[in-house]
C-alpha cells in the first residue's frame, strides 16, 4: 500500500519564515515595526499540536497519489486580529490539487490566539513551506491504474499532446513518477474530439519532462 506524509518545515510558530505585521497604512501592505511583534500568534497547544493537526487532516489529492506527485509548496497566509487563518495563497505550484489541499488545510485550522503589537491584536503575515511526499518518490505509475481511476488523462510529451493510448505507445505500460513535471486540469479549449471525455470525473494534463 502506498503511504504518504506531509512535512512542515518550521523552526517554531513564533518564528515562521518572514513573520510580518500585516498593516494597512503603507504601499507594500506592511506596517511600521513589522518585526516588533510583542506576542506572535499562537496555535492552541503550541507547535506540536499544529503539526498534529496538519498530519491528521491532510487529504492527499487523488491525482497526486495516482501520478506520484511529490514536491515542496510555499504558502503565504495571515493570522488575523481574531486569530483566524486567512488569505492562504500558494507562492509556487506542484499541481494535481496539492495547492488547493494546502490552502484548505490552513484555512480550516482552529482559531489561533492573535498576535499582539503595541498592545493591540494585529494581523500577522507568514510564509510557510509544506512538502507533499509519497513513500518511494520514484514509484512506477501504471497506465492501467490511470484508466481504472475514473479520471481522464492527456499527456504532453515533447510539447505534443497525446491520448493515454498514444502515450502508452511512447512510454510503455508504465512510467516513473519522477518523469512527471506537473499534472493539472485539462479543459480541451480547442475542442479536439479525441480529448473529449465527458464520461470522466475530470480530465488532467500530465506533462512529461523533456
pLDDT in tens, 20-47: 555 543 223 333 334 567 888 998 998 8
Kindly report, residue by residue over 109-165, the tens digit of the pLDDT: 999 999 999 889 999 998 888 888 776 556 889 999 999 999 999 999 999 999 999
First to last CA, the chain: 30
As for how many domains the chain has, the answer is 2
Q: Do 52 and 108 belong together in one domain?
A: yes
Q: Do 50 and 130 belong together in one domain?
A: yes
Q: Which domain holds residue 146?
A: 140-208
Whichever domain contains 35, its CATH number is: 3.30.2420.10
Q: Is the pLDDT score of 68 beyond 60?
A: yes
Q: Do 198 and 128 belong together in one domain?
A: no
Q: Do 113 and 158 belong together in one domain?
A: no
Domain final position from 86, 103, 134:
134
Q: Do 100 and 13 belong together in one domain?
A: yes
Q: Do 125 and 144 belong together in one domain?
A: no
Q: Do 94 and 147 belong together in one domain?
A: no
Q: Do 52 and 71 belong together in one domain?
A: yes
Measured between alpha carbons, how far is residue 19 from residues 25, 33, 40, 48, 177 in Å?
Answer: 17, 11, 9, 19, 35
Q: Do 128 and 152 belong together in one domain?
A: no
Domain final position from 134, 168, 195:
134
What are the E-state strand segments in 4-123?
A: 4-8, 17-21, 71-79, 85-90, 115-117, 120-122
Q: Do 127 and 145 belong together in one domain?
A: no
Q: Are strands 152-157 and 180-185 parallel, antiparallel or unpaired?
A: unpaired
pTM > 0.85: no
Q: Do 94 and 51 belong together in one domain?
A: yes
Tell me what pLDDT residue 38 has: 84
Q: Do 68 and 9 belong together in one domain?
A: yes
Average pLDDT over residues 78-87: 94
Domain final position from 134, 165, 182:
134
Amino acid at each position: 500500500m502506498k503511504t504518504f506524509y506531509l512535512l512542515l518545515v518550521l523552526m517554531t510558530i513564533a518564528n515562521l519564515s518572514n513573520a510580518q505585521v500585516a498593516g494597512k497604512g503603507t504601499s507594500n501592505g506592511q506596517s511600521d515595526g513589522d518585526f516588533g511583534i510583542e506576542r506572535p500568534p499562537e496555535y492552541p497547544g503550541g507547535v506540536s499540536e499544529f503539526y498534529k493537526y496538519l498530519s491528521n487532516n491532510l487529504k492527499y489529492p487523488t491525482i497526486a497519489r495516482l501520478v506520484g506527485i511529490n514536491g515542496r509548496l510555499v504558502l503565504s497566509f495571515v493570522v488575523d486580529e481574531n486569530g483566524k487563518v486567512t488569505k492562504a495563497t500558494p507562492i509556487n505550484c506542484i499541481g494535481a490539487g496539492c495547492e488547493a489541499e494546502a490552502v484548505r488545510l490552513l484555512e480550516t485550522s482552529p482559531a489561533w490566539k492573535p498576535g499582539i503589537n503595541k498592545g493591540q491584536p494585529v494581523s500577522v503575515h507568514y510564509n510557510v513551506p509544506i512538502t507533499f511526499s509519497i513513500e518511494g518518490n520514484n514509484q512506477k505509475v501504471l497506465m492501467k491504474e490511470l484508466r481504472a481511476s475514473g479520471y481522464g488523462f492527456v499527456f504532453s510529451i515533447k510539447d505534443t499532446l497525446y491520448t493515454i493510448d498514444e502515450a502508452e505507445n511512447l512510454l510503455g505500460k508504465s512510467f516513473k513518477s519522477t518523469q512527471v513535471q506537473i499534472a493539472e486540469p485539462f479543459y480541451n479549449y480547442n475542442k479536439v474530439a479525441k480529448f473529449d471525455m465527458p464520461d470522466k470525473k475530470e480530465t488532467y494534463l500530465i506533462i512529461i519532462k523533456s
